[in-house]
A and B are shown apart, each in its own frame.
Chain A
Amino acid sequence: MNETAVVIETIIKAVIVLSVTAGMGAFATWIERKVLAFMQRRLGPMHVGPYGVLQLAADGIKLFTKEDIIPQNAVKPIFILAPIIAATTAFTAMAAVPYFPEFTLFGYKITPIVSDINVAVLYVMGVASVGVYGPLLAGMSSSNKWSLLGAARAVVQMLSFEVVSGLSILAPIMMIGSLSLIDINDYQSSGVTSWLIWKQPLAFLLFAMAGFMETNRSPFDTIEFEAEVVSGYATEYSGMRWGLFFVGEYANMITVSVLVSIIFMGGYNPIWFIPGALAMLLKVSFWIFLFLWVRAAWPHIRPDQLMWVCWKVLMPLAVINIVITGFALV
Chain B
Amino acid sequence: MELKDFNNRNIAPGYIFFEGEKAPENGWQIFKRIVKRSIKGELFVGLWIVFREMIRFDIHTVQYPAEKLEMSPRYRAIHKLLRLFESGNERCIGCGLCEKICISNCIRMDTHVDERSRKVVSEYSINFGRCIFCGYCAEVCPELAIVHGSEYENASEQRAHFGLKEDMLTPLDTFKAKQQQEFPGFGALSDNADEFVKKTPLAY
Assuming A46-B63, A293-B51, is B58 touching A41 (CB within 8 A)?
yes
A-B pair count, CB < 8 Å, reads: 37
Q: Which residues of B contact A298 (CB under 8 A)?
A: 43, 46-47
Is A39 an interface residue when CB atoms closer than 8 A count as contact? yes
Q: Which residues of A contact B59 (CB under 8 A)?
A: 38, 41-43
What's the minimum C-beta distance from B64 to chain A, rounded to whole angstroms? 11
What's the minimum C-beta distance from A219 to chain B, rounded to whole angstroms? 9
Q: Contact check: which of B50, B51, B60 meets A42 at CB < 8 Å?
A: B60
What's the minimum C-beta distance from A45 to chain B, rounded to whole angstroms? 11
Q: Contact check: which of A39, A40, A43, A313 meets B51 at CB < 8 Å?
A: A39
A193 to B42: give the CA distance in the assembly, Å. 28
Once the chains bind, are B46 and A35 in contact (CB under 8 Å)?
A: no
Is B61 an interface residue when CB atoms closer than 8 A count as contact? yes
A35 to B57: give the CA distance in the assembly, Å. 11
Assuming A294-B47, A297-B46, A297-B47, is B54 touching A43 (CB within 8 A)?
no
Is B49 an interface residue when CB atoms closer than 8 A count as contact? yes
Q: Which residues of B contact A293 (CB under 8 A)?
A: 47, 50-51
Is B191 an interface residue when CB atoms closer than 8 A count as contact? no
* Best-surrounded residue of A46, A293, A297 (most CB of chain B within 10 A): A297
Once the chains bind, are B61 and A297 in contact (CB under 8 Å)?
A: no
| Interface residue total, chain B, C-beta cutoff 8 A | 15
Is B157 an interface residue when CB atoms closer than 8 A count as contact? no
Once the chains bind, are B63 and A297 in contact (CB under 8 Å)?
A: no
A188 to B46: give the CA distance in the assembly, Å. 32
Q: Look across to chain A and name the residue whose beta carbon is closest to the beta carbon of B58.
A: A41
Q: Contact check: which of B43, B50, B61 meets A296 at CB < 8 Å?
A: B50
Assuming A43-B63, A46-B63, is B49 touching A297 (CB within 8 A)?
yes
Q: Which residues of B contact A313 (CB under 8 A)?
A: 34
Q: Which residues of A contact B53 (CB under 8 A)?
A: 38-41
- A22-73 residues with Cβ-Cβ distance < 8 A to B are 35, 38-43, 46
Q: Which residues of A contact B34 (CB under 8 A)?
A: 313
What's the minimum C-beta distance from A290 to chain B, rounded to whole angstroms? 9
Once the chains bind, are B61 and A38 in contact (CB under 8 Å)?
A: no
What's the minimum C-beta distance from B136 to chain A, rounded to whole angstroms? 39
What's the minimum C-beta distance from A311 to chain B, rounded to whole angstroms? 14
A76-120 to B contact mask, C-beta < 8 Å, 1/0: 000000000000000000000000000000000000000000000
Once the chains bind, are A43 and B61 in contact (CB under 8 Å)?
A: yes
Q: Contact check: which of A38, A46, A294 meets B54 at CB < 8 Å?
A: A38
A280-309 to B contact mask, C-beta < 8 Å, 1/0: 000000000000011011100000000000
A297 to B49: give the CA distance in the assembly, Å. 8
A298 to B43: give the CA distance in the assembly, Å. 7
Q: Look across to chain B and name the residue whose beta carbon is closest to the beta carbon of A43.
A: B61
What's the minimum C-beta distance from B69 to chain A, rounded to whole angstroms? 15
A293 to B53: give the CA distance in the assembly, Å. 12
B residues neighboring A (CB under 8 Å):
34, 43, 46-47, 49-51, 53-54, 57-61, 63
15 contacts between A and B (CB under 8 A): A38-B53, A39-B51, A40-B53, A41-B58, A42-B59, A42-B60, A43-B59, A43-B61, A43-B63, A293-B47, A293-B50, A297-B43, A297-B46, A297-B50, A298-B47
Shortest Cβ-Cβ A-B pairs, 4 listed: A39-B50, A297-B46, A43-B61, A38-B54
Q: Given A35-B54, A42-B61, A293-B47, output 13 extra A-B contacts at Cβ < 8 Å.
A: A39-B50, A39-B51, A39-B53, A39-B54, A40-B50, A41-B61, A293-B50, A293-B51, A294-B47, A297-B47, A297-B50, A298-B43, A298-B46
